[in-house]
């Protein structure tokens, strides 16, 4: 994931768009993967929060959106690494 500036309105719109494109079912899958990979209590909780707010990013702070998208990106990288093995 590219590094976004949470203070830049354009970057914030891009991040909100990326967040809103992920469905509630996809968020639930990310939560399950995170629990299987044991990525940490805080990261799992932020994914659960994202699942509850799926499609309505306007209720999340820019910092939280950035954090949750970074967690998703890390999970995707872990999955890609597992597939290559």
pLDDT the model gives residue 78: 85
Q: Is 70 exceeded by the pLDDT of residue 1?
A: no
For residue range 36-76, list pLDDT tens digits in order: 989 989 999 999 999 999 989 889 999 999 999 999 999 98
∠ Cα 10 15 17 (to 5°)? 95
How is residue 69 written in tokens? 């998208």
Mean pLDDT of the chain: 89
Which whole number is the average pLDDT over 18-34?
A: 92
Are the beta carbons of 85 and 44 closer than 8 angstroms?
no
Cα 32 to chain centroid distance, Å, stands at 13
Residue with tokens 């299987």: 36
Whether residue 4 is contained in a domain is answered as no
| Alpha carbons 16 and 10: distance in angstroms, whole number | 10
Domains identified in the chain, total number = 1
Q: Kindly state whether residue 2 falls inside one of the protein's structural domains.
A: no
- For 75, the domain range is 9-84
């Amino acid at each position: 994931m590219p590094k976004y500036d949470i203070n830049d309105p354009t970057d914030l719109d891009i991040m909100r768009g990326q967040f809103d494109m992920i469905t509630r079912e996809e968020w639930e899958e990310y939560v399950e993967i995170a629990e299987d990979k044991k990525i940490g209590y805080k990261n799992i909780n932020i994914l659960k929060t994202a699942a509850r707010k799926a499609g309505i990013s306007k209720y999340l702070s820019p910092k939280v959106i950035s954090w949750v998208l970074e967690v998703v990106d890390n999970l995707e990288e872990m999955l890609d690494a597992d597939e290559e093995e």
